[in-house]
Amino acid sequence: GLYCVEHTAETGSANAAERRFTVMKLHCCMGHIGAEVVKQLVSKGFITGIQLVPSGSDENIICESCITAKAKRHPEHEGSCSMEYGGEIHSDLWGPAPVKSL
């Protein structure tokens, strides 16, 4: 059957080796979240036990990982396209098969 279990929720805590973080360092540690979100998490008490150290680039952090992740690749077009039917043919060649078919 069903049983009633009385349980009190415990708040977890994490131990930090460092106590002072820049916005950029915390941005990287927290999965590359935005600078404003980092500041809000600390100011509203969602992240405790650390102190944000102001730096000159707090407003516009430049993270190479974020820039690379957001970059888009464009296809490279080499040569000209065929303008007539059958002017360019693509095919896949495969065989002979290593096993006989049924």
**For 58-62, what is the mean pLDDT?**
77
For the record, the structure tokens of 25 come out as 């360092």
Confidence of residue 19 (pLDDT cuts 50, 70, 90): confident
What is the pLDDT of the chain when averaged over all its residues?
A: 83
Nearest-angstrom CA–CA distance, 52 and 69: 26
Residue 16 has a pLDDT of: 64
Residue 65 C-alpha from the chain's centroid: 9
* 3-class secondary-structure state, position 52: strand
User: How do 51-52 and 20-21 pair as beta strands?
Assistant: parallel
Q: Maximum distance among all alpha carbons in the chain?
A: 77
**For 11-31, what is the mean pLDDT?**
81
**For 33-60, what is the mean pLDDT?**
85
pTM over 0.85: no
